[in-house]
Amino acid sequence: MKQCLVVDDSSVIRKVARRILEDLQFEITEAEDGQQALDECRKTMPDAILLDWNMPVMDGLEFLTSLRAEEGGESPIVVFCTTENDVAHIARAIRAGANEYIMKPFDREIVEAKFQEVGLI
Amino acid sequence: MTPGEFEFLKNFLKTRSGLVLSNDKQYLVESRLLPIARSSKLETLSAVIQTLQRSGNRALETDVIEAMTTNESFFFRDKTPFDNFRDTMLPALLQSRSNFKQLKIWCAAASSGQEPYSLAMCLKEEAAKMGGWRTRILGTDLSLEVLEKAKAGLYSQFEVQRGLPIQLLLKYFEQKGDMWQIGAPMRSMIEWKKLNLLENFAHLGEFDIVFCRNVLIYFDQATKSEILARLAKSLPEDGYLVLGAAETVVGLTDAFKPVPGKRGLFQKKPAVHAATGPGASTRFAAGGVAGLRR
């Protein structure tokens, strides 16, 4: 079973994402901000990370930049999932090492399509 | 809607669009036609059908046909056909057409444009191998309304997230408020025309590749066979026909055979009494190239 870390400060979004991803046969761990996510990754590197942008303590982009600099941090497939939906943000995320990008609001079909796109399912 | 009205609608759609409506599709009729009932101030489905029965209301007839035959569409839908396009069809045709460097593709059920635009993006991604080539994509559909949308190339945030990799969104689209518009260079690669596959399409000329996915499923066996026979005439000997993942030519026509190992991909069976020379030269002689120019 593949592992996916869901990073979002909204518990509602985490719950929705968990439900969708569990149906897609992922084992889910959760984090509320970038720092918690980084701590999780240092314990166990997940196969995939669904990542919000705007979060307290450490935001998604900062987390991604730190993750990619960690040992083994290049391996997880990172899919941003954020309300930031302009070209500039998307381009920054890709440059920082994101593999895919979901613009909120999202649904089951979009998550499935994006995860397929990056070869996770 | 009474059984008699449903029966009338079935016959109406069959003769006018070829759509075969089975008896379990009442829900589909309701979900597609109730919006028309409301917008045309007829209020009920029965009223819509009774108006059709009295006939003469062309606008309503068109609205009903379009609403019943339109499909939802995604970019790179089913993925495999586009992999086949890039890895099988394109390399073969780039080689066999290397003398005259022209490629003509027809999307016969273009709907709101995602399929032709996906092919246009594939071609752009392969541009390095295609210096000096002229490519044309024709997108046709029964519905003028979806063709207008296709032509505009404007898609919602939801639509651009189904099947379209983020890199391609960044590369080929521009953000327009809440919407995303495919760039002008891509839009200029495609020509749009309203066309009913039941009608003669020989005037469109010959194509190297025809995408005709998930549209034959609406027709009965005889109509499917008849359309496939005419599609065969629109393709040269080495052309390709692409059908939907669940579609086949088996039992419908002798004109096509499946390409082994390539789901949904078909080529013509060699003609038994092929008279002269290779397909390419026959094609020249028959004025196929002239037909490519508008």
For residues B151 and B279, state if they share a domain.
yes
Task: Decide if B51 is inside a domain.
Answer: yes
- Asked if residue B100 and residue B10 are part of one domain, the reply reads no
* % pLDDT > 90, chain B: 65
Answer yes or no: do B170 and A107 touch at CB < 8 A. no
Mean pLDDT for chain A? 96
Instruction: Compare B240 and B247 and report the one with higher pLDDT.
Output: B240
Residue B265: pLDDT band (50, 70, 90) is very high
Q: Are A35 and A9 in contact (CB under 8 A)?
A: no
Shared domain for B62 and B151, answered yes or no, is no
Q: Is residue B192 part of a domain?
A: yes
Residue that finishes a domain, picked among B69, B99, B120: B69
User: Mean of the pLDDT values across residues B249-276?
Assistant: 85
Same structural domain, B156 and B249 = yes
Contact A103 B165 (CB under 8 A): no
Residues in chain A: 121
B chain contacts of residue A94, beta-carbon cutoff 8 Å: 166-167, 170
CB-based burial of residue B200 (10 Å sphere; 0-12 exposed, 13-18 middle, 19+ buried)?
exposed
The pLDDT of B107-125, averaged and rounded, is: 96
Mutate which: B161, B176, B181, vs A, most A CBs within 10 A = B161
Instruction: For residue B38, name the pLDDT band (cuts at 50, 70, 90).
Output: confident
Same domain, B34 and B141: no
pLDDT of residue B249: 93
Whether residue B167 and residue A86 make contact (CB cut-off 8 A), yes or no, is: no
Residue finishing a domain among B15, B47, B69: B69
Residue of A90, A111, A120 best to disrupt the B interface, most CBs of B under 10 A: A90
Residue B279: pLDDT over 60:
no
Are A104 and B176 a contacting pair, CB within 8 Å?
A: no
Residue B96 has pLDDT above 70, yes or no: yes
Q: Is the pLDDT of residue B27 over 90?
A: no
In this prediction, residues B194-209 reach a mean pLDDT of: 96
- Whether residue A61 contacts residue A30, with contact meaning beta carbons closer than 8 Å, is answered with no
Tokens of B224: 């499917």
For residue B168, give the chain A residue with the closest CA.
A100
B56: containing domain: 3-69
Beta-bridge partner residues of B192: B139
pLDDT score recorded for residue B275? 47
Q: How far is A112 from chain B (nearest CA, A)?
A: 9
Above pLDDT 90, what percent of chain A? Answer: 97
- pLDDT for residue B219 is more than 90: no
Same domain? For B225 and B260 the reply is: yes
Partner B contacted by A85 (CB < 8 A): yes
Predicted pLDDT at B190: 98
Asked if pLDDT for residue B121 goes beyond 60, the answer is: yes
Mean pLDDT over B58-64 rounds to: 89
Find, in chain B, the residue whose alpha carbon is nearest to that of A88. Answer: B170
User: Which residue in chain B has the smallest CA separation from A83?
Assistant: B157
pLDDT given at position B273: 55
Distance CA B157, CA B175 (A): 10
Measured between CB atoms, does A86 come within 8 Å of chain B? yes
Q: Enumerate residues 6+ apart whose C-beta is below 8 A from B69.
A: B13, B17, B19, B142, B143, B218
Spell out the alpha helix ranges (H) of chain B.
Answer: 3-17, 26-39, 45-54, 58-69, 80-84, 90-96, 114-125, 144-152, 166-172, 184-187, 221-233, 279-285, 288-292
Are B56 and B95 part of one and the same domain? Answer: no
Highest mean pLDDT among A27-31, B221-225, B281-285: A27-31
pLDDT for the residue numbered B184: 97
Domain containing A78 — which CATH number?
Answer: 3.40.50.2300
When scoring A87, A95, A121 by the number of chain B Cβ atoms within 10 A, the one with the most, hence best to mutate, is: A87
Q: Do A87 and B170 touch (CB under 8 A)?
A: yes
Give the domain range for residue A76: 2-117
Q: How many domains does chain B have?
A: 2
Q: Which of A53-67, B11-25, B178-192 has the lowest mean pLDDT?
A: B11-25
Residues B284 and B244 in one domain: yes
Whether B74 is in a domain gets the answer no
In a domain, B39, yes or no: yes
Chain A residue with Cα closest to B174 = A87
Q: Which residue has the tokens 């359309």?
A: B227
Q: Are residues B163 and B277 in the same domain?
A: yes
> Does B284 have pLDDT greater than 70?
no
Give the residue-averaged pLDDT of A22-34.
97
* Cβ-nearest to B161 among A86, A94, A102: A102
pLDDT range class, residue B289, cuts 50, 70, 90? very low
Same-domain check for residues B84 and B201: yes
B contacts of A117 (beta carbons < 8 Å): 163, 165
| pLDDT range class, residue A31, cuts 50, 70, 90 | very high
Considering its fold, how many domains does chain A have in total? 1
Task: Please tell me whether residues B109 and B27 are part of one structural domain.
Answer: no
pLDDT at A2: 97
End-to-end CA gap in chain B: 47
Residues listed for chain B: 294
- The residue in chain A having the minimum alpha-carbon distance to the alpha carbon of residue B156 is A103
A-B contacts (CB, under 8 Å): 31
* CA gap B227, B232 in Å, rounded: 9
**Amino acid B174: pLDDT:** 97
Other CB atoms closer than 10 Å to residue B37's CB: what's the count? 18
Q: Across residues B187-214, what is the average pLDDT? A: 96
Residues B226 and B126 in one domain: yes
Q: How confident is the model over A58-94, as pLDDT tens digits? A: 999 999 999 999 999 999 999 999 999 999 999 999 9
Comparing alpha-carbon positions, the chain B residue that sits nearest to A116 is B163
Least confident of A15-24, B87-96, B160-169, B284-293: B284-293
Res. B71 pLDDT band, cuts 50 70 90: low
Q: Taking CB atoms and an 8 Å cutoff, what residues of chain A touch B74?
A: 113
